[in-house]
Structure 1
Amino acid sequence: MEFTKVVRRRRMVRDYDPDRPVPPEVVEQLLDHAVRAPSAGFTQGWGFLVLETAVDRERFWAATSPVQDAGSRGRGRWLAGMRRAPLIVVPHANRAAYLDRYAEPDKGWTDRDEGRWPVPYWFVDTGFASLLMLLTAVDAGLGACFFGIPPQRVAPYRAVFGVPEGFAPVGAITIGYPAPDHRSPSLTRGRRPVEQVVHRGQWS
């Protein structure tokens, strides 16, 4: 698909066809593209948990969104659609990998001081990798949705899947063939035009 079309067609898909698994070659392509994301110092301080089996996906939803957390009817509908996704990928950021990398001789920040970082690039870079997966899904004719794991559910998630303490989940991505779903109420806000958000030469 032409890249411009991929970008314009990308949206968060919240309901999936449960009878159409993601082809294995597409799963591999998603991951291959993810690891081609840019990273500070070429640190590549990320890790991806891939959940393809029904058992693993159910373990994920039980740990991160138990029934008692479903809340409103809208939340329940969201969960019902998302739980039908045949593939979940959880991207993780490893802060220590970046502090270690920048303490190496060619960087020289041997004090490993986080204050040297203008922003936490371990999260930025893992976000880059996540976006590449979202775009790859569109290019393959699939849909995907990036969403957060509630803070109070991160510890149960870690325990269930044995995620090392140094790796922080930045969110999760459901992937699959889209089913008709409800338009997000947030979209009524409309897309802000370029002239409102782009400042050329000077902000004001």
Structure 2
Amino acid sequence: MEFDAVVRRRRMVRNYDPDRPVPAEVTDRLLEYAIRAPSAGFSQGWGFLVLEDAADRERFWAATTPAPATPGEPENSWLSGMRRAPLIVVPHSNREIYLDRYAAPDKGWTDRDEARWPVPYWHIDAGMASLLMLLGAVDAGLAACFFGIPPETMATFRESFDVPPEYTPIGAITVGYPAPDRRSPSLRRGRRGVTDVVHRGRWGAS
């Protein structure tokens, strides 16, 4: 598929065909794409938890789904569709790898002071790796969705999958073959155009 078509077709899909697993070679290809992402100082401070077995995926949803506000409340359609995904990848970032890398002789920040970083590049780089997986899924004829793990479930998630303390999940990605899916109500807002977001020369100029 041409790159322009991949970019234009990419969207967050929230319902999957549960009877069509993601081929192993496609999963491997998506992970190969992920590690081609740029990273500050070539730190590559990421880690990817891959959940393919049904038991592991069920454990993920059990760990990360908040308890319903009302006991006995039915599962919402978003969760029902997402749970059908045959593949979940959880990208993690590792701040310590970046602080260590920039304390190396060729960088020279020997104090490892996090305040030197204007933004947390460890999260940004893991996000870039995630986007490459999202685009790779489209190129392979699959669908995917990036979503956040609720903060109140983070400790349970970590415990359920033995996540080392130095790794922080930045979200999760479901992957699979798409099933009929309703368009997100958020899309009614419309896509902001280039002239709405681009400022040439100074802010406010277009």
Q: State the identity as a percent.
A: 72
- 1:14-29 counterparts in 2 under 5 A? 14-29=14-29
Residue 12 of structure 2 contacts residue 143 of structure 2 at CA under 8 Å; is this kept in 1? yes
Q: CA deviation at 1:118?
A: 1.0
CA RMSD of aligned residues (A): 1.6
Residue 37 of structure 1 contacts residue 132 of structure 1 at CA under 8 Å; is this kept in 2? yes
Tell me the secondary structure at the aligned position of residue 68 of structure 1.
coil
Say whether 1:122 aligns with 2:125.
no
CA displacement 1:96-141 (0-9 Å, x = unmatched): 0000000000000010011111110000000000000000000000
| Number of equivalenced pairs | 203
Q: CA deviation at 1:163?
A: 0.2
Gaps of 5+ in 2: none
TM superposition score normalised by structure 1:
0.96
**Which position in structure 2 is the counterpart of 1:105?**
105
Tell me the secondary structure at the aligned position of residue 6 of structure 2.
helix
Tell me the secondary structure at the aligned position of residue 99 of structure 1.
helix
Q: 1:10 and 1:67 mapped to 2: Cα distance?
A: 31
Residue 142 of structure 2 contacts residue 176 of structure 2 at CA under 8 Å; is this kept in 1? yes
Gaps of 5+ in 1: none
- 1:149-168 counterparts in 2 under 5 A? 149-168=149-168
Q: CA deviation at 1:74?
A: 10
For the structure 1 residues 23 and 7, does the alpha-carbon distance in structure 2 shift closer, same or farther, using more than 3 Å as the test?
A: same
TM superposition score normalised by structure 2:
0.95
For the structure 1 residues 74 and 113, does the alpha-carbon distance in structure 2 shift closer, same or farther, using more than 3 Å as the test?
A: farther
Q: CA deviation at 1:68?
A: 2.4
Residue type of the partner of 1:200? R
Q: 2:67 and 2:126 mapped to 1: Cα distance?
A: 29
- 1:6-155 counterparts in 2 under 5 A? 6-66=6-66, 68=68, 76-155=76-155
Residue 70 of structure 1 contacts residue 76 of structure 1 at CA under 8 Å; is this kept in 2? no
**Which position in structure 1 is the counterpart of 2:173?**
173
**Which position in structure 2 is the counterpart of 1:191?**
191
Q: 1:128 and 1:74 mapped to 2: Cα distance?
A: 35
Structure 1 segments (4+ residues) deviating >6 Å: none
Residue type of the partner of 1:147? F
Q: 1:70 and 1:87 mapped to 2: Cα distance?
A: 29
For the structure 1 residues 13 and 2, does the alpha-carbon distance in structure 2 shift closer, same or farther, using more than 3 Å as the test?
A: same
Q: CA deviation at 1:202?
A: 1.1
Residue 57 of structure 2 contacts residue 88 of structure 2 at CA under 8 Å; is this kept in 1? yes
